Chains A and B, each alone.
Chain A
Amino acid sequence: DGGITQSPKYLFRKEGQNVTLSCEQNLNHDAMYWYRQDPGQGLRLIYYSQIVNDFQKGDIAEGYSVSREKKESFPLTVTSAQKNPTAFYLCATRGYMNTEAFFGQGTRLTVV
């Protein structure tokens, strides 16, 4: 099946820990994006990447880091510097021939 796989679906983090959220796609899309969604709010862009080995900060990049070593993969690390990491995280992709974004199922991160 073509699509975007985010894992894990639920993730718990202790204070001061770094955690990494996985996003894998087999759509052969060049562009990948990470969004954060808080209750009752829209999506805010964290980081994005248009090609392998290159990525740019979005609107709320502080406390997050990413890598793009393979076209298929765009992992997001939530570092201890992110003071309020509890949220729903969505990974999306877009191909150059598409106008719309395609989304994974999301990862819900909770700080315990």
Chain B
Amino acid sequence: GDSVTQMEGPVTLSEEAFLTINCTYTATGYPSLFWYVQYPGEGLQLLLKATKADDKGSNKGFEATYRKETTSFHLEKGSVQVSDSAVYFCALSLTFRTNAGKSTFGDGTTLTVKP
């Protein structure tokens, strides 16, 4: 079945450090790939997405590139801020025809940024 594996946490960084959270996937067909962010006590919010190979998703200084050859979608940010502290989920989804539009999520990576 479809699966997403992401880097185990927690990750602790100092402000302005470089961030990488690794994510790899297995899927039948051609999935869309996502990074969601969750702040304490809240639901998930879409951070960025890519819908086909070699696409780069970007938002709020975060970036991730859809690499079909390595089945990866690593999240990066050049300079993290304290406000980036949250849990980050890598996810994939297929078409409604393929699997009812269900999403498959990684286990989440907790990021803490210290001043």
Chain A interface (Cβ < 8 Å from any Cβ of B): 4, 6, 31, 33, 40-43, 45, 48, 50, 56, 58, 90, 92, 94, 96, 99-106, 108
Look across to chain A and name the residue whose beta carbon is closest to the beta carbon of B32.
Answer: A99
A interface majority secondary structure: strand
Chain B interface (Cβ < 8 Å from any Cβ of A): 32, 34, 36, 41-46, 49, 51, 89, 91, 93, 96, 100-103, 105-108
Query: CA A108 – CA B40 in complex, angstroms?
Result: 12
Interchain Cβ contacts within 8 Å, total number: 64
Structural contact, A31 and B96, CB atoms closer than 8 A? yes
> How far apart are B87's CB and chain A's nearest CB, in angstroms?
9
Contact partners of A101 in chain B: CB under 8 A = 44, 46, 91, 93, 103
Query: CA A75 – CA B113 in complex, angstroms?
Result: 37
Look across to chain A and name the residue whose beta carbon is closest to the beta carbon of B1.
Answer: A59
Query: CA A12 – CA B47 in complex, angstroms?
Result: 31
Structural contact, A45 and B102, CB atoms closer than 8 A? yes
